[in-house]
Amino acid sequence: MTTKIGFLLFPGFPMSCLTSVIEPLRAANEISGTSAFEWCLVGETLDRIESSAGIVFAPEFSLEAANRLSYLLVLAAPSVQFTDNRTTSRLRKIERHGCKLGAISGGVFPLARSGIVDHERLSVHWCYELAFAAEFPHMDRSSNVIEISKRHVTASGAAAAFDLALWMIEESLNEDVANEVACWFQHPVIRKLGVKQSVPVEKFDCEASNVSSIVKQAIAIFSEDLSLPVSVADIAGQVNLSPRHLERVFKHSTGQNPSGYFRHLRMKAARQIIMYTNDSIGDVAAAVGYASEKPFIKQYRSTFGVAPQDDRKRINLYRVESNRPVPSV
């Protein structure tokens, strides 16, 4: 039985997410000597669609004409909105006919806006996490590389999309073929369900997996809710260290003191919300732990060299003048 995957493309979609699924499926067909997988490009209409890399794709089917799919994966920039008010009802109809809906990277945003996946756990790329939480506070977002349920699949980014494809190969063929495909592309580790995303440590040339457990614990405590005014002393108490000892351990692992690190985390989170939502500046300030706008704006300007309202105007100007969304990962 052939598994057919449709890719529902929107302007600004990350091209790497498309090829990261198609190429391993193509290799699986070649290795197995079968036509285990087929794929097609789908658009809301048949209009040509420009990717984040500026390369233009022509859909083979409009969403209305897309039938008999095993999976339909949404590929989009986070800011994308459906342009056809019939799209959501069409997606529900496709799902009722046995198709698993899903999304990769920024595609999780328009899929979440549709309301179809309200009660599902969705994989959200770490760079979108705060923006997603601000827009969809009721939804269950996951930091896992991929999430798979009975009706939906989500992958956090391009490399995660490759892991999703390997999962499909193992489901439709077998583990041996999936392993051989991974070796073809020198994909070093097959990440299955439950594996967390790799997350960089701010302003430090390493991944979080290489940081001491005490520092990771401190970062996790702080990151639980950026809206709370947590002090370094509070966190030190929770990890059973004195504030001075935590400062030393933190500096050794990250090259920064904890207060500067946490301040930068707040600003990175704020910029996500500025870029990918329409929340007011006051709401953004509150979401990242500032009681008023003035100190928030001052710190934002100090960090990024521009005030948050001007940063948003610049982003919106890019969208209008270039007729494209903010580039996605």
Domain boundaries along the sequence of the chain: 3-184, 208-322
- Whether the CB-CB separation of 241 and 251 falls below 8 Å is answered with no
**The domains spanning 3-184 and 208-322 adopt the same CATH topology:** no
The sign one gets for the Cα dihedral 232, 237, 242, 247 is negative
Percent residues over pLDDT 70 in the chain: 92
For residue 313, give every residue at least 6 positions away whose Cβ sits within 8 Å of its Cβ, in sequence order, or none: none
Q: Is the pLDDT of residue 265 over 90?
A: no
Give the lowest-confidence range in 18-22, 45-49, 126-130, 181-185: 126-130
87: nearest Cα among 68, 109, 62: 62
pLDDT of residue 255: 80
Residue, of 218 and 276, whose pLDDT is higher? 218
Q: How confident is the model at residue 210 (pLDDT cuts 50, 70, 90)?
A: low
pLDDT, tens digit, 9 for 90 and up, residues 28-56 = 999 999 999 999 999 999 999 999 889 99
pLDDT digits (tens, 9 = 90+) for 187-201: 877 888 888 887 765
By three-state DSSP, how is residue 148 classified? strand
Strands 49-50 and 71-75: unpaired
List of residues 6+ apart from 27 with CB closer than 8 A: 181, 184, 185
Residue among 325, 53, 24 at smallest CA distance from 166: 24
Architecture of domain 3-184: 3-Layer(aba) Sandwich (3.40)
Query: Given a cut of 70, is residue 246 above it in pLDDT?
Result: yes
Give the model's pLDDT for residue 211: 65
pLDDT of residue 216 exceeding 90, the answer is no
- pLDDT above 50 (res 320): no
When pLDDT is cut at 50, 70 and 90, the band that residue 321 belongs to is very low
Q: Report H helices in the chain.
A: 15-32, 87-96, 108-113, 129-135, 158-172, 175-184, 213-223, 232-238, 243-254, 258-276, 281-287, 293-304, 308-322
3-state helix, strand, coil in the chain (%, to 5): 50, 15, 35
- With tokens 């794929």, the residue in question is 39
Q: From 66, 68, 118, select the one nearest 98 (Cα to Cα).
A: 68
Question: Mind listing the pLDDT tens digit for each residue in 96-147?
Answer: 999 999 999 999 999 999 999 988 899 999 888 888 888 888 899 998 999 9
CATH architecture observed for domain 208-322: Orthogonal Bundle (1.10)
The pLDDT value recorded for residue 323 is 42
pLDDT number for residue 94 = 95
Which of 129-143, 172-186, 206-220 bottoms out in mean pLDDT, i.e. has the lowest?
206-220
Residue with tokens 């529900």: 92
**pLDDT surpasses 60 at 208:** no
d(CA 50, CA 2): 29
Backbone angles phi and psi of 146, in degrees to 5:
-135, 155
